[in-house]
Amino acid sequence: MNLSGNTILITGGATGIGLALAEEFLQRENEVIICGRRQEKLQEAQDKNPKLHILQCDISRSRERISLAKTVTEKFPSINILINNAGIQQELNFLEEIDSEKIENEVASNLTAQIHLSSLFIPQFLKKESPAIVNMSSGLGFIPLAIVPVYCATKAAIHSFTMSLRKQLEKTSIKVFEMAPPTVDSDLDRGARDKRGMVDKGIRPEECAKEIVKALEANTMFALIGQAENLYGAVTSGKGEFVFERMNG
């Protein structure tokens, strides 16, 4: 994939891996638009990177996704890359009562939004040069961490959906990538990590973004970053249950 001269929408681009990716792409002469729910985080990102375009949007809501796609297409008609990066992670204990809204919000943010946004941009991407959809899965999509069960299930589903989408679009110019990061030191699971007293905070978002950019440049359609490779490898070598027990012991 050509890494300059693109117009790129990164969902959840105001923090963590998304922001680090936005900065990588800005350095390479791309037009970058980020979206997120918190205006103050978007503003902070833009203050740091004045060339960044920001749009407030809650991608868990269908109507906001439709309006995001419309606004981006109208304001940035050259849009040719969608990076489905936004996501949330919740600890859910099924021995306690669980608010269905929490479940719906996590599935909508991590899975429905990625599927719907892909469908909204595909018709325009078909007319573009070098279009791409990049979906962010996770090592936890291959072997789950039981305390964040819905998160892991959505990431497993992203892996599955991305394979199907790639197959359906294989005769078009749209490239469909899956990037599977390992543990990254971001806000995503900081609370849960601290609560469990985890010492290994994972790699830095900037490091993860560099690996993603490298994979995109090399047209690696399914990139396993760092420890994510070990988790995927455990599944494919038949050691998934063993590693699952060790991780969740």
Q: Does 226 bind ligand NAP (CB under 6 A)?
A: no
151 noted as active-site residue: yes
Give the C-alpha separation, 128 to 39, whole Å. Answer: 30
Cβ contacts of residue 78 below 8 Å, gap of 6+? 7, 31, 128
Specify the long-range contacts of residues 239-242, CB closer than 8 Å, at least 24 apart: 240/142, 240/143
Site size toward ligand NAP, by CB under 6 A: 32
The neighbour count for residue 119, using CB atoms within 10 Å, is 12
104 binds ligand NAP (CB under 6 A): no
Out of 33, 106, 122, 181, which residue is the one contacting ligand NAP (CB under 6 A)?
181
Q: Which of 160, 104, 170, 168 is nearest to 135 (CA)?
A: 160
DSSP letters for 74-124: HH-TT--EEEE---------TTS---HHHHHHHHIIIIIHHHHHHHHHHHH
Which of 30, 109, 118, 162: binder of ligand NAP (CB under 6 A)?
A: 109
Binding map of ligand NAP across residues 137-176, x = CB under 6 A, - = no contact: -x--------------------------------------
Alpha-carbon distance of 80 to 129, in angstroms, equals 7
Q: Which is nearer to ligand NAP, 189 or 211 (CB)?
A: 189
| 85: contact with ligand NAP by CB under 6 A | yes
7 contributes a contact to ligand NAP by CB under 6 A: no
Q: Based on CB atoms, which residue is closest to ligand NAP, 18 or 131?
A: 18
Contact 100, 148 (CB under 8 A): no
| Cross-strand pairs, 134 | 83, 177
| Smallest separation, CB 136 to ligand NAP (Å) | 4
- Nearer to ligand NAP by Cβ, of 24 and 189: the residue is 189
- Measured CA to CA, the distance from residue 216 to residue 229 in angstroms comes to 17
Examine residue 184 and tell whether it contacts ligand NAP (CB under 6 A): yes
**Binding to ligand NAP by residue 58, rule CB under 6 A?**
yes
Q: How far is the CB of 34 from ligand NAP (least distance, A)?
A: 8
By CB under 6 A, is residue 229 in contact with ligand NAP? no
- In the complex, the smallest distance separating the C-beta of residue 43 from ligand NAP, rounded to whole angstroms, is 11
Segment (H or E) for 64: helix 62-75
Residues labelled catalytic: 151
Which residues of this chain interact with ligand NAP, rule CB under 6 A?
11-12, 14-18, 35-38, 41, 57-60, 85-88, 109, 136, 138, 181, 183-184, 186-189, 202, 205
